[in-house]
Structure 1
C-alpha cells in the first residue's frame, strides 16, 4: 500500500479516536461532582488516567518499536473501547475509576499513530503530515462535544454517550485490522530488537538509556506547556458553569468551537512551518501566544470575549503540538522513535496527573486560580523555548 494511502487511513483513525473521546471527556468531571464530592476529590479521581499513563506511555511506545505499530494500535483500540463500555455501565465512583484506569493503560492510539507517521514520512514532510493528522483528529472535537452534550441530558444519557464512544473505537479497530498493513518492515533494522531481558523493567531500561542531555530541555518545555493548557481545560466545564451559568449544551458548543479552530489551524501548519523553517523558533512563538491567550481567558468578563480568547489558545496549541513533536523527533534515533514519543507522552501524563489536583485546590481558593496558574506555567515554557531557539540560532551562526 502506498504511503499516502496509509497517511489518509491514519487520519481517519485519528478523527474517529478523538470523536469518541470528545463525546465523553467534557462530561466526566461534572458527573463526578454530581456524586457529591469536593473539588479536591474530583481532581483525585480525574487524575487516575494521567497517573497510569505516566507509566504506560513509554512501555507502549517501546513495545511498538519491537513488535510493530499495527499490533499495538489494535490492542490499544480494542481495550480503550472496553474501558468506555465499563465507564458507561454505572455512574458509581468505583466504576468511573476502573474505566479511567483501563483507558490510562491502553489509550495510546494517537501516540502510536504519530510514531507510525514518523516511520513512513520524510523529515521534510513531517510538519505537514503531523499538522494534517492533528487537524483531522481535532475535527472529532467539532461534533462530538455537541452531540455528547445533547445526549447527556436524556435519561441514562451518560451511559449512552459512553457506549457510543466505545463503538467508534471498535470501528477504528476494524479499519486498522482490515486496512493498515504490518509496518514493522518499514522500521529501521536496528528497531527490530528483542525486548531486554533481566530484572529491569522496560520503563526503567529506557529511562536509563535515554540521552537526557539531548532531551531534557524539550521534555521540560513540554511539561510546562502541557500543564498550562491542562490546568485551564481540566476545569473548563466547571469554570464556565460557575462564571456564566452555562448548560451542558453550551459547554458542548464551546468545546466544538475549539475543535473547529484547532482543525483549521492544523491544516495550515505545513505553510506555517515552511515560513519559520525552524521548529525551535516556531515553538517559542507558539508558547508566547499561549501565554497571552490564557491570560485573556482568565480575565474574560463574558462568554463572547472568552470565545475570542479561545481562538489564539487553539492556534497556539496546534503550533506547539507540531513544533514540539518535530523538535523531539529531530533529535531522536530512528530506532527509538516509538520509545521517545511514548516517553514524551509520559511527560504530558505527569502534567495530566497533577493538574486536576492542583486545579481543584486552586479553584477552592479562587475561580481565577486555574487560569492564573496556567498563564504562569505557559510563561515559563515560553522562556525555556526562547532559550533553545537562541541556542539553535547561535550554533547556526
Structure 2
C-alpha cells in the first residue's frame, strides 16, 4: 500500500516534467494574485459598507479583530492540513472558504437581510482562507533550497498586483455598479480559482520519499488539530530563534501599518485619494523589491546576511521615523521600510522551511502565516495607546530599540541551519 502510494506520487511529479513544473509554479502565482486582488477589493468597500450598516469605530474594530483572531488560530491547522492532504487540497479549500466569505459579504449588502449579522458571519470562513501560504507551500515543494528565496520573493509581485488592482477595481465597481458588486465579482473569481486549482495543480507536490515517510505503516495517523506536534515543531532549536526574530523584528512596523489609516489623516493630513496613491506606491515598491531585488541579492549573499541587512535597515528607518515631520520624509523612508519587511518575510520563511523536515513545511508556513494576523489582532490596541499618548515618533523609537537588540542577538548567535530537523 505504501509502495503504491509512493509510486503514484512519483508518477504525479514525473508527469509534470521539466516544462510543466514551471507552468505549475506560474499558475500558482496567477491564482495567488487573483485571490489577493479579491481580498483588497473587499478591504476597499468594507469601511463604507460598515458605515452604511451603522457600525461605529468600536464595532468596526471588533469586526477586524474577529478576522485577525480567526486567521491566527487557523494558520497552523491549515498548514497541517496541507501536509496531510496535499497543497492542492489546501489551495482548493482556501478558495472555497473565500467563496463563502464573499457570498456572505454580498448578502450583507442587501437591505432586505440582516446586514450586521451577515457581516460578522462572513468572518467565520477566515480560518481556512490562506491562499498565500498555500501558494508558498506549492512553491516550497517544487523548488530546491537554492532557488527557494527568489521563488518565494516573486510572490511579492502577486501581492503588489493585488494591492493595485484590488483597490482600483473595488472603488470602480462599487461606484459604477453598487457596493455589492465587488463582493459578487470576488465570489465568482474564487469559485473559478477553486475549480482551476483542483483540476490543474498536481495532487501531490512533495517528493515520493517524503510522501512515503509521512504515511509510514504502524504509526497512528496524526490529527490536523494535534497541537503537541505544532508546538514540538515550533520549539526546535533551529526553528525557535528564527521564528522569534521574524515576529519581533517586524512587529514595530506592523504596529505602524495598522495605525497608518489614522496617521495618514491626522499626522500627514492626507485626503482619501492621496492615501490611495501612497498605498499604490507602497504596492509598486513591494513588487519591485520582492520580485526583482531579493531574488538577485539571494544569489550573491547568504540568507543570514540578508536577515542582518533587513534588521539593520529597520534600525535606520526607525531613526528616520523618529525625526520625520511630513509625508515627504515618509516617502523617502518607504523604500527602506519595504525592503526590510519583504526581505525579513522571504528570508525567514525560506530559513524556516529548510529547518524542518519536508513533511512539515506546510505546518511551518502555516505558523508563519499566523504572524500577520497576530499583529492585526493586538496591533490596534497597542498601537492606539502608543499613538494617543506619545504620537508618531514612538513607533520609530520602538522600531529602533527592538531591532537594535535583535541585531546584537544576530551578531552573537548565528542563524545557520545546522540543527536537527524534525524527525
Q: TM-score, normalised by structure 2?
A: 0.81
One of 193, 196, 210 as aligned partner of 2:222? 196
What residue is the counterpart of 1:117 in the other structure?
139
Shift of 1:196: 2.1
One of 405, 414, 421 as aligned partner of 1:392? 414
Tell me, yes or no, if structure 1 residue 272 matches structure 2 residue 294.
no
CA spacing shift, 1:87–1:317, aligned 2, 3 Å: same
Alignment partner of 1:166: what SS?
helix
CA spacing shift, 1:377–1:27, aligned 2, 3 Å: farther
For the residues of structure 2 that align with 1:114 and 1:386, how far apart are their CA atoms? 30
What residue is the counterpart of 2:200 in the other structure?
179
For the residues of structure 2 that align with 1:205 and 1:150, how far apart are their CA atoms? 46
What residue is the counterpart of 2:36 in the other structure?
18
Deviations 1:238-281 (A, max 9, x none): 221223443433332221111111001112212111222x2122
For the residues of structure 2 that align with 1:201 and 1:395, how far apart are their CA atoms? 27
Deviations 1:291-338 (A, max 9, x none): 433554565433333333222222222211211112212211111111
Most deviating of 209-218 and 44-53: 209-218
What residue is the counterpart of 1:376 in the other structure?
398
Most deviating of 123-132 and 43-52: 43-52
CA spacing shift, 1:8–1:23, aligned 2, 3 Å: same
CA spacing shift, 1:154–1:385, aligned 2, 3 Å: farther
Shift of 1:5: 1.3
What residue is the counterpart of 1:336 in the other structure?
360
Most deviating of 105-114 and 234-243: 234-243
For the residues of structure 1 that align with 2:49 and 2:261, how far apart are their CA atoms? 11
What residue is the counterpart of 1:98 in the other structure?
121
For the residues of structure 2 that align with 1:310 and 1:29, how far apart are their CA atoms? 25
Q: TM-score, normalised by structure 1?
A: 0.86
Give me the CA root mean square deviation: 3.0
For the residues of structure 1 that align with 2:153 and 2:140, how far apart are their CA atoms? 12
The 8 Å contact of residues 281 and 389 in structure 1, kept in 2 or not, is answered as no
List gaps (5 residues or longer) in structure 2.
1-15, 110-114, 419-423
What residue is the counterpart of 2:84 in the other structure?
66
Tell me, yes or no, if structure 1 residue 255 matches structure 2 residue 274.
no
Most deviating of 61-70 and 385-394: 385-394
Alignment partner of 2:125: what SS?
helix
Tell me, yes or no, if structure 1 residue 37 matches structure 2 residue 56.
yes
For the residues of structure 2 that align with 1:366 and 1:89, how far apart are their CA atoms? 41
The 8 Å contact of residues 68 and 184 in structure 1, kept in 2 or not, is answered as yes
- Indicate the structure (1 or 2) with the bigger Cα radius of gyration: 2
One of 129, 132, 149 as aligned partner of 1:107? 129
Shift of 1:358: 1.9
CA spacing shift, 1:269–1:65, aligned 2, 3 Å: same
Deviations 1:105-157 (A, max 9, x none): 11111112111211111101111111112223322222322333455556843
Alignment partner of 1:213: what SS?
coil
One of 344, 360, 367 as aligned partner of 2:384? 360
CA spacing shift, 1:372–1:41, aligned 2, 3 Å: farther
What residue is the counterpart of 2:11 in the other structure?
none
Tell me, yes or no, if structure 1 residue 48 matches structure 2 residue 66.
yes
For the residues of structure 2 that align with 1:121 and 1:15, how far apart are their CA atoms? 19
For the residues of structure 2 that align with 1:113 and 1:183, how far apart are their CA atoms? 14
The 8 Å contact of residues 80 and 102 in structure 1, kept in 2 or not, is answered as yes
Shift of 1:372: 2.6
Shift of 1:367: 4.8
CA spacing shift, 1:262–1:385, aligned 2, 3 Å: same
